Every structure is written in structure tokens, then in C-alpha cells.
Amino acid sequence: MPPIVQVNDLRKRYGDIEAVRGISFFVEPGEVFGLLGPNGAGKTTTVEILEGLRRADGGSATVAGVDVFSNPSGVKRRIGVQLQASAFPDNLTARETVRFFAACYDLEVDELALLRQVELEERARQPQAKLSGGQRQRLSIATALVNQPQVLFLDEPTTGLDPQARRNLWDLIRSIQARGTTVFLTTHYLDEAEILCDRVAIMDEGNIVALDPPRKLIDDLLARGFTKPVLQQKANLEDVFLDLTGHEIRDA
Amino acid sequence: MRQTLRLFGLLLRAYLRDRTALFFSLIVPLMLMVIFGYLNLGDFGRVSVAIDDQAKNQSSAQLVQILNGIETLQLTELPTDQALTKLRRTELDMLILIPPDFAIAPARPGQTVPQIVVYGDDARPQQVAVGRQIVSQVIDRLSFAITQTAPVIAVKDETVQGVRLRYVDFLVPGILGVNVMQLAVFSVAFALVADKQRGVLRRIMATPVRVPNLLAAHVLTRLVIATGQVAVLLLVALVLFNVTIVGGLAPLLVIALLGSVLFLTIGFALAGWATSENQVPAIAQLITLPQFFFSGVFFSKNAAPALIRPVTNLLPLTLLNDALREISVQGATLWDVRTQILGLLVWTLAGFILAVRLFRFEKF
């Protein structure tokens, strides 16, 4: 199968700053692909170009077989997008929010089925502003699924969530992948990338400095003779927290 | 079209849910109407008039007696010099000076016609206008009665009735105009700048939505709300103040909606320019406040200083108020107010061009 996202020599500069310096990579259909990197590495710019929200200065990119530069709205029709801050129009219920985005794609959808998919069916009639942080992120994913996208872009989906809600969202992302949707994820949390991603690209100063499955990146590092200064603990504080408070999600 | 209607349905529902905003957007115009209407601020139902009768003959007595019988006028007899002082202090609206040679008699060849001098306080143009009209009509009637010329009195009676225009009748179209302006400018600017700041517009732009459809849905929502508000204000005006609307409700609504579209373009331009919610009230006030005072909302547009009147007479709200008032008070048709309509369309075009230049969805 041809790659579902194909990026060649992509460039973008803002004034004097070269945000993206000619990167190339591809994403396989059906995988969870992670784009990692410190703030200012060029992740967001790269993702926004692929989502058709920003113009690149050079190179080429196709998403789901559509050229991003010449047909951004064709790309938008085929992808789902969850932005960092989940913002919805005011004064709508969860169900109406899904309907609003369906209308943006000019599609009729079964809103309740989508809400069920993200475990929000019981909240359908609740104003979206009254939802908890985790629920809002799940609603955001529901709105990103209205057009049955071939690629789902998630921008730091678990930022600000408690450990239970994070794990719940990971399960949701895995279930979306299991249905055959490609997931393109950016995150600051390396544990998240390690658990979810089939392959990760690490960006720094506008370049991709590594691209491989997480396990391989770790093995390569160890092969170079790396050892952790402190002996690896058998458990960490998060394990303690989850052991004491349980894995049950709290806000649903 | 279908997309526009679906988005419109949801936006309207969301808008109607915001009860507080709805309530408060109506409360200001209603308060203005009640305060100005009940307290009769700027009322010209009573025009205070001083009379200096220097003739003291039968004709002048007759004139004074008739004027005394007119409810609208509050008559006092004062010598000219005292009355002029009071006029300058705006304690009087006008002075009628009856010259010594005053007579109501058929004019004889070679004889000059006696002249009544009317001094008006230029700070109270409405009152003076109404007062002058009454005086001239009374004199006409007296002349006709005595000189026995063609009996056109029936026609004159009709015009005299026109003078019974009360202040609220004048006020209500002005309040409608202000309301249309405030709703359009503020509701669009606040809502869209908030959406912009919170990233809602960005999220929407990640969908393949057609931007003209989205904008049309926003505009339609506001037009429906504006129609509702105009209806509520008219209802209150009719029930509470028994306001006379001479012209049709349909042309009144057409003009109100035309005004809404015009001010919506300004709201969109403002929303496009502003980057934070804090900028909105300042700029919105800067746009609306001068029109609030100089566009003939509470007082005649001629109350604006003569120096800036050529400008204030062309302000969008002035054109809107003129058209609304001519329909409401004088029973004008849409064709009669075509000049104002043309002016509104010119402003709308200017606002539209500005909005398109400043409002770029792609930016967000």
C-alpha cells in the first residue's frame, strides 16, 4: 500500500526563522505515527501544513493521496482534526456540537453513534461547556470523526488530563486505530508516544533527527553504550497513584 | 444553501439560549424608550411661547385667544426685551411679536402687509418648528375666515392634526435605529472575536466548510434576532405609549433589516481587525457613540453643530433614522425614502469591502 501521508523536502520560514528545514517522511496506512520534539521544533507548523491550515514555502506533501498545496479543501474532507485547545461554538449541547461539525462537512451523521464511540452518549443533551476536560477531549475526537477520516490528526490530546482520563483516551485512540484509521499524533509525553505509536519522528530545530519504532530507538541508544545513571525502578509514582485510585475514569 | 440553513439553525438556537445577552440587548433600548418617552425629555408637545401684543386691537386679541386655545402651546404675555432674555436662557422656546399695525383684513393696494415676527430658540429646533407651523396655520385660517377666500380650511385642519405629533412618535423610530446599530455591531464583533481568541474559528477552518455559507449563517441569525427585537420594541411602543405609526410595518422592517446588514458589515470589519476582546468595546463605542448623539435619535439631527452637520447628515445611522422616521411619522413609502436607501446601500458596500479586507478566515 502506498503511504497515506507523504512529505518531501517540506520548508517553511517565518521572517528570519526557518521553522521547517526541508523534512521528508511518510506515514503508513493504519499506523499510529508520533511527531515528537521540544517546543519550537517545528511540529505544529508541520502538522498545520498537512491539515491544510497553513501554506508551505517549498517541497511537497500529499495526505490520503491528495496534494496539500493545490487542494487543501480536498485534504480537509479526508482528514479529522483535533486542535490543542478544544474549542467549540458557545451554547450548544454535545450532540449539537457534533451536528455543527457535520454541517461544516455538509454531511448527515448519526450523532449519538459517534458520541457512543467516545463514551459520551449519556452526555448528549448536556451543554458542551459543562463537560469535564477529558469529556471535552473525547467530544473533540467525536467531532473529528464526523467525516470518517482516513487520517486523524491529534495535537497533544492528553495535555491537562488526569492519569485515568489519559489512559481512557489512549484506549479510545487504540480503538480508532483498530477500525483502520491512521492516527497522526503530536505529544510532549514520551510515555504516551512509547505506548501508542508504531513509529515516531523526533524533530529538533526544523529537522527530523530520528524516525523509527520507539523500541528500536531505545535499543539503538542502548547499543551505543547508554546507561541510566539511576537503576530503573520496578514501579513509579504514577503506578502508585493508579494502584490507589484505580483505573476507572472519573469524569464519565 | 442547505449547509447555510443547517449552520443557521444551530447558531440561532445557540443565540436564543443566551437569555442574558438577549435580555440585555433589549433592555437598553427599552430603558431609553421608557425614560425619554415617559419623562417626555425633549417633548415638543408643549411649546412655551411668549407673546408681545403691541397692537392691542380686535384682530390681535382674536389671534391671542385662538393661540391660547391650542393645547400644544404654553402661552405667556411678555414684553419683547424680557422675552428675548428668557429665550437666550432657553427658558422660552419662542416669542411672537405682534406689531402695532397688526390687522386681519383684506390687503389694499399700496399698503404693506403687517408682519408678525417670530423669534425661535435655536437650541430647541423641534419646538420652534412646531410653534412656527401652528402660528402660520392659525394666521392662515384667520385670514381665510375674514377675507372669505376659497374655503380650504378642511385641508388646513388636516395639517393642524399633523402637529399633534408627540415626542414618543418622533422618538420610537430613532430607538429602533439605535437598536439595529448596536445589535449588529456589538453582537457580531463580540461573538466572532471571542471565537477567534478561543480558537473556535481555527477549528472550523480545519473543516472544508464554505466560508461564505458560514458567514451567511451568521448574518441570517442576526437578521432574525433583529427582526424579533424590532417587533418587541414596536409592541412596547404601541402598547405602552400608543405610538402612531403612519406608514406600513413592512417598509419599516425592510429599512430596519437594510440597516442591520449595513451595520453587520461594520461588525465583521471590526471583528476582523480586533485581536482581543478588550479592543472590541472601545472601537465599537468609537463607531456608535457619535451616531448615538448626532444622528437624530433623541433630538432632531439638526441639533448637531452646524459646522459638522454636512458630515453628520450622511452618517449611516442618520440615513437609517431619517428613513425609519419618514415611514413611521409621515407615512412615507419605500420609494419616498429612496435617497436614504441609496445612501444605506453605499455605506453597506463600503462596509462590505472593509470587512472583506479585514476579515480573513485563513489567518486564524
| Max Cα–Cα distance, chain A, nearest Å | 57
Kindly indicate the confidence band of residue A179, based on its pLDDT and cuts at 50, 70 and 90: very high
A16 class by beta-carbon count within 10 Å (0-12 exposed, 13-18 middle, 19+ buried): exposed
- Please name each of the domains of chain A with its CATH number: 5-245 (3.40.50.300)
Does B203 sit within 8 Å of A87, measured CB to CB?
yes
Per-residue pLDDT reduced to its tens digit, A121-149: 999 999 999 998 889 999 999 999 999 99
- Kindly tell me if the per-residue pLDDT of B159 is higher than 70: no
User: With an 8 Å Cβ cutoff, is A81 touching chain B?
Assistant: yes
pLDDT at residue B278 in the model: 86
Q: Which cell numbers hold the place of B22?
A: 438577549
Nearest CA to A31 out of A52, A5, A7 is that of A5
Please state the ipTM of this predicted complex: 0.89
| pLDDT score, position B69 | 78
pTM: 0.76
Q: Cell digits for A245?
A: 485510585
Rounded to an integer, what distance in angstroms lies between the CA atom of residue B135 and that of residue B156?
Answer: 12
**pLDDT over 60 (residue B153):** no
- Candidate from B191, B198, B208 with C-beta closest to A87: B198
Query: For testing the chain B interface, which of A48, A51, A90 should be mutated: the one with the most B CBs within 10 Å?
Result: A90
Give the DSSP per-residue string, B299-313.
Answer: S-GGGS-TTTHHHHT
With beta carbons under 8 A apart, name residues in chain B contacting A103. 3, 6-7, 10, 209
3-state SS string for A90-108? CCCEHHHHHHHHHHHCCCC
Q: Would you state the pLDDT for residue A23?
A: 95
Rounded Cα distance between A103 and A68, Å, is 23
Asked if A134 and A163 count as a contact pair (C-beta separation under 8 A), the reply is: no
Q: How far is B18 from chain A (nearest CA, A)?
A: 7
Q: Name the grid cell of B217.
A: 449563517
* Residues found in chain B: 364
Rounded mean pLDDT, A223-251: 78
Q: CB B208 to CB A105 under 8 A?
A: yes
B39, amino acid identity: L
Instruction: Look at B3 and A73 and tell me if their CB atoms are within 8 Å.
Output: no
Whether B6 sits inside 8 A of A103 (CB atoms) is yes
B59-104 pLDDT, tens digit per residue, is 788 888 888 877 778 888 888 888 888 877 767 888 888 888 777 7
Q: What is the DSSP letter of B6?
A: H
Residue B148 contacts by C-beta under 8 Å, 6 or more apart in sequence? none
CB-CB contact of B20 with B102 (8 Å):
no
Q: Residue with C-alpha cell 449519556?
A: A122
pLDDT (tens digit, 9 = 90+) per residue, B103-145? 776 666 666 666 777 887 766 667 777 777 777 777 777 776 6
Q: Where are the domains of chain B?
A: 2-40+166-363, 47-162
Instruction: Indicate if the pLDDT at residue B162 is higher than 80.
Output: no
- Chain A residue numbers with beta carbons less than 8 Å from the beta carbon of B199 are 83-85, 87
Q: Is the pLDDT of residue A27 over 50?
A: yes
CA distance readout (Å), A213 to A5, A25, A195, A218, B143: 17, 14, 11, 9, 107
* pLDDT at residue number B150: 38
The CATH architecture one would assign to domain B47-162 is: 3-Layer(aba) Sandwich (3.40)
- What cell does A36 get? 515528537
Cα–Cα distances in angstroms (integers) from residue B178 to residues A80, B25, B231, B259, in the given order: 43, 11, 14, 10
User: Which has the higher per-residue pLDDT, B175 or B40?
Assistant: B175
Is the pLDDT reported for residue A83 higher than 90?
no
- The predicted structure's pLDDT at residue A154: 94
Measure CB to CB from residue B204 to each of A92, A99, A104 and give the nearest one. A104
| B6 to A91: CB separation less than 8 angstroms, yes or no | no
Average pLDDT, chain B: 82
Per-residue pLDDT, averaged over B41-69, amounts to 79
Q: C-alpha grid cell for residue B192?
A: 466572532
Q: What pLDDT is attached to residue A180?
A: 92
**Strand (E) or helix (H) holding B74:** strand B73-77
Asked whether the beta carbons of residue B11 and residue A89 sit closer than 8 angstroms, the reply is yes
Q: Does B345 score more than 90 pLDDT?
A: yes
Q: Report the SS3 class of residue B48.
A: strand
Question: Which pLDDT score, from 0 to 100, does residue A207 have?
Answer: 93
- Residue A126 has phi, psi (to 5 degrees) of -85, 140
User: E strands of chain A, at which residues?
Assistant: 5-14, 17-27, 32-36, 58-63, 66-67, 79-82, 151-155, 182-187, 199-204, 207-212
CA dist., res. B195 & res. B208, Å (int): 18
Asked whether residue B43 carries a pLDDT value surpassing 60, the answer given is no
pLDDT tens profile A33-67 = 999 988 888 998 999 999 998 999 999 999 999 99
The answer, yes or no, to whether residue B160 has pLDDT greater than 50, is no
